[in-house]
Amino acid sequence: MSSVAVVTGASSGIGAATVRRLVKDGFDVVGVARRADRLAALEAETGARVRPLDVTDENDVLRFAAELETCDVLVNVAGGALGAEPVALARADDWRHMYEVNVLGTLHVTQALLPLLRAGAGGTVVTVTSTAAFVNYEGGGGYSAAKHAEHALVETLRLELGGEPVRVVEVAPGMVRTDEFALNRLRGDAARAAAVYEGVDRPLSADDVAECVSLVVGLPLHVNVDRLVVRPLAQAAQHKVHRGPLFPS
Ligand code: 8X3
């Protein structure tokens, strides 16, 4: 019987790429996200099981967990950024939303699935945070605050599960170009979203991050990658982004 992997945020970007990747790796994947139409397309494409779910709805998360018989791997991807205003002008509702999805969503799903992750031969919780979990930048206050908090959740959980056969892994990507991340953050301003990646020779793709998730999950069960920070080669540090050709053509 295949190992079961639950992936949140499965309707697009890193979540959808992770579903595709873990299906290829032989997992029985359950992809969850809010948008049922996108999930149905992913189900038809990959053969993964899907289940519409808003990770901020604790009761529905509990109902979802009760529907599962086993779970070996949980990949927390649901999250995102909303707003890029400086602190002086930031909207509290955006910050609240980012905390709800990135932090409490991860909390709800992790809490609900922990009994199953603990019950099997060895469980793995991978949480996809961000380099914004460790550094700050102008206009990123609310997102960075949420990602710092999500990182704190991961670090605390690893300590609390010490002595149990459950790995707790953080994958922290830097600049990833997806269809929605920058667009959502910039409230649909496509020109500003495109400018984020302008001139960058190969930002990370969702598939690149999914590859990292596959890597850490596929290691032997006694090998715990605490934190995998992954950036495109063009981004030596958060503020040091090379814009221009990087590789010989
Ligand atoms: C995305 C990376 O640099 O936009 O999580 O914060 S960044």
Counting every residue, how long is the chain? 249
- Residue 99 Cα, ligand 1 centroid: separation in angstroms? 15
- Residue 120 Cα, ligand 1 centroid: separation in angstroms? 34
**193: which 2 tokens?**
């979203």
Q: Which residues of 42-66 are buried (b: 16+ CB within 10 A; e: fewer)?
A: bbeebebbbbbbbbbebebbeebbe
Q: What is the pLDDT of residues 136-172, one digit of tens each?
A: 999 999 999 999 999 999 999 999 999 999 999 999 9
From the alpha carbon of 140, which atom of ligand 1 is closest? 6
Q: What is the pLDDT of residues 28-39, one digit of tens each?
A: 999 999 999 999
Query: All domains of the chain, ordered by start, with CATH?
Result: 4-236 (3.40.50.720)
- Residue 175 Cα, ligand 1 centroid: separation in angstroms? 6
Count of H helices and E strands in the chain? Answer: 9, 9
| pLDDT for the residue numbered 1 | 84
From the alpha carbon of 130, which atom of ligand 1 is closest? 5
Catalytic residue among 99, 137, 143, 197: 143
The pTM of the full predicted model, rounded to 2 decimals, is: 0.98
Is the CB of residue 86 less than 8 Å from the CB of residue 139? Answer: yes
SS3 for 123? Answer: strand
Q: What is the pLDDT of residues 119-139, one digit of tens each?
A: 989 999 999 999 999 999 999
Q: Encode the chain (249 residues) as per-residue pLDDT tens digits.
A: 899 999 999 999 999 999 999 999 999 999 999 999 999 999 999 999 999 999 999 999 999 999 999 999 999 999 999 999 999 999 999 999 999 999 999 999 999 999 999 998 999 999 999 999 999 999 999 999 999 999 999 999 999 999 999 999 999 999 999 999 999 999 999 999 999 999 999 999 999 999 999 999 999 999 999 999 999 999 999 999 999 999 887
197 in active site: no
